[in-house]
Amino acid sequence: MYNALVRKEVMGILEKEVGSFLDKFLTPIEKIWQPSDYLPDPSSSDFKYDLEEIQTFAQEMPYDLFVTLIGDCITEEALPSYESWLMSVEGIDQEKSGPTWASWIRSWTAEENRHGDLLGKYLYLCGRVNMRQMEITTQYLISDGFDIGTSMDPYRNFIYTSFQETATNVSHRRVGTLAKQTGNGKLAKMCGVIAADEARHAKAYKHFVAKILELDPSEMILAFEDMMRKKIVMPAHMMRQSGQKAGELWGHFSDAAQRCMVYTGQDYINIMKDLLDEWKIEHVTGLTEKAEKAQEYLIKLPSRLQKITDRISTPDLQFEFNWVKK
């Protein structure tokens, strides 16, 4: 499918810059926010008031929006799957010393780990969540694993993470915006800082792709085409709840996110357009004949997807998630 030796060579060239990537795109641990910065302090005299505020606003959140928040948390909590997958990608060696791709993945994981911690504790405190059922879904999601269609190809994986980090930025930012509109300032801040992390991470992975486009443009264009033909599946696509098969819950969760306008088919198209612009795909030169055809496909894809999306309607019927207390 692809030349693994060339991939390793390109990854080796970029690995020399990993130290600068860590400095540019990640934040030192001593300086970055931690979940406790945004959660009520149990030792404070205001704790009872803060807890009551969290629980009141949680009860008032529209059902679909609240379900989307829970699903976003579960997605973040399945982080072990994402780290173990990326550690197996061609060109990543955990035994190397110094700033390496493995260093990047561990440091990126460490930043991402705070997201599930923050949202999980918020949801526990809010009193509206059946925590056992939410935890069962999370454990299933990690246990079931996932297949994002990238194989162990770094090019495809960087395309995927560029898209996915942008998508999670959109989702968290929208939940925060909708929460703020109802006066839920605490949740809005939590979602806002998580979204800001995702934006930085998206910027990093988009930068890696841009670098590879300079070194191996034809193969990167072909990898991009392949990922878009398959369609980007979300990392929680195997989501299920008690009594279901793997993946059976994903469609219902996706419908809920669309109904409350947190993440829609239009967002998918917009992200695709942004990536085409970011990487200047239309202006990449020196391509093989096959890559030129892939380039043409990519340039025309957003308009094709738009026609399809305009014809699709989101189901109106709400699904009853067992995560939410009755």
- Looking at residue 255, what is its pLDDT? 94
Q: Which residues are catalytic?
A: 33, 76, 112, 115, 165, 168, 197-198, 201
- Looking at residue 318, what is its pLDDT? 82
User: Quick one: pLDDT band at residue 316, thresholds 50, 70, 90?
Assistant: confident
Cα–Cα distance between 182 and 59 in angstroms, integer? Answer: 12
The predicted-structure confidence for 221-254, as pLDDT tens digits, reads as follows 999 999 999 999 999 999 999 999 999 999 999 9
Cα–Cα distance between 321 and 239 in angstroms, integer? Answer: 12
- Looking at residue 325, what is its pLDDT? 96
Residue with tokens 């560029």: 162
User: Quick one: pLDDT band at residue 218, thresholds 50, 70, 90?
Assistant: very high
User: Quick one: pLDDT band at residue 314, thresholds 50, 70, 90?
Assistant: confident
Residue with tokens 């195997």: 238
- Across the range 319-325, mean pLDDT stands at 96
Kindly report the pTM of this predicted structure.
Answer: 0.96
Residue pair 2/153 in contact by the 8 Å Cβ criterion: yes
The predicted-structure confidence for 58-67, as pLDDT tens digits, reads as follows 999 999 999 9
Binding site listing: 76, 112, 115, 165, 198, 201
The helix (H) or strand (E) run that includes residue 281 is none
Query: In DSSP terms, which residues pair with 324 in a beta bridge?
Result: 129
User: Quick one: pLDDT band at residue 7, thresholds 50, 70, 90?
Assistant: very high
Binding site listing for Fe cation: 76, 112, 115, 165, 198, 201
For residue 316, give both structure tokens: 């109106």
